[in-house]
Amino acid sequence: MTILEAAAGFAVLAALLTIIPGLDTALVLRSSLTRSRGYAYATAGGIQVGVMVWGVAAATGASLLLAASEVAYEVLSIVGAGYLVFMGVRMLVTSFRAKAVDESGLPAITGGNARGFATGAVTNLLNPKVGVFYLATIPQFVPAGVSPLLMGALLALVHVVLAMIWYVGVIQGSRAIGARLRSPRFVRWVDRVTGGVLVVFGVKLALDTRL
């Protein structure tokens, strides 16, 4: 297997993983519908930084700790679950509260694009299933004689490129469709739905850890 063949094979798997509706897509979609385009791209960028970190960690063997140590996996899972539930509950609570609005009449953004970036990065990094996925797949796509570290970084980069193409479509499409819907009431309902999704993801992650 050559480097090109390995990258192509991994690309198919990464593309399928990317387009399956999940937490990352939900965060980007919510950011695009209820915040600015820049905020949405910042959120997507944060997610991709998390992907790169997990990819390199898996390639260097750091993610072996998650697979070998049940305690480490459970601790990261509980922390991640708690973070997701916290974010979800915060969205739900603020959606029912009177909030400051900007000149467009929409809820004012606090923290700017940096907050979106941090939300995307932290959410991805605190999801141990991402690390386990990379640990299970990357070794299968490392050709003989090729540095695992460099190959892991290359495969993670492939995933990042594919995901960003997907997120660009999600952001541009939702901005076009949501232009007529971006009212304070619509924004509040999007936050309520997304907050509920985050809580469900967090609870599921916690329950899966205990099983």
Using alpha carbons only, what angle is made at residue 113 by residues 107 and 119, rounded to the nearest 5 degrees? Answer: 90
Predicted local confidence at residue 104, as pLDDT: 41
The whole-angstrom separation of Cα 164 and Cα 156 is: 12
pLDDT the model gives residue 165: 94
Q: How confident is the model at residue 128 (pLDDT cuts 50, 70, 90)?
A: confident
Q: Decide if 1 contacts 149 (C-beta within 8 A).
A: no
Q: Tell me, what amino acid is at 179?
A: A
Q: What is the pLDDT of residue 107?
A: 46
Residue 105: pLDDT band with limits 50, 70, 90: very low
18-57: string of b/e by CB count within 10 Å (b at 16+)?
Answer: beeeebbbbbbbbbbbbbbeebbbbbbbbbbbbbbbbbbb
pLDDT at 184: 63
Beta strand residue intervals within 5-76, DSSP E: none
pLDDT band at 111 (very low <50, low <70, confident <90, very high): low
Q: pLDDT above 90 covers what percent of the chain?
A: 14
65-69, 144-148, 151-155, 200-204: range with lowest mean pLDDT: 65-69
Query: How confident is the model at residue 76, as a pLDDT?
Result: 63
Q: Which residues contact 8 (CB under 8 A, 6 or more apart)?
A: none
d(CA 172, CA 153): 28
Q: 139-167 pLDDT, tens per residue? A: 777 787 887 778 888 988 999 999 999 99
* pLDDT computed for residue 54 by the predictor: 85
Tokens of 126: 């605190």
Tell me the average pLDDT across 20-44: 86
Helices (H), 69-183: 70-95, 112-125, 128-137, 148-178
Burial of 15 (0-12, 13-18, 19+ CB in 10 A): middle
Residue 205 has pLDDT above 70, yes or no: no
131 has a pLDDT exceeding 80: no
Residue 145 in 3-state DSSP?
A: coil
How many Cα atoms are found within 13 Å in the side-chain-facing hemisphere of 53? Answer: 16
Judge contact between 125 and 50, C-beta under 8 A. Answer: yes
Token reading at 53: 């970190």
In the chain, domain spans: 3-78+104-181
Across the chain, what does the average pLDDT equal? Answer: 77
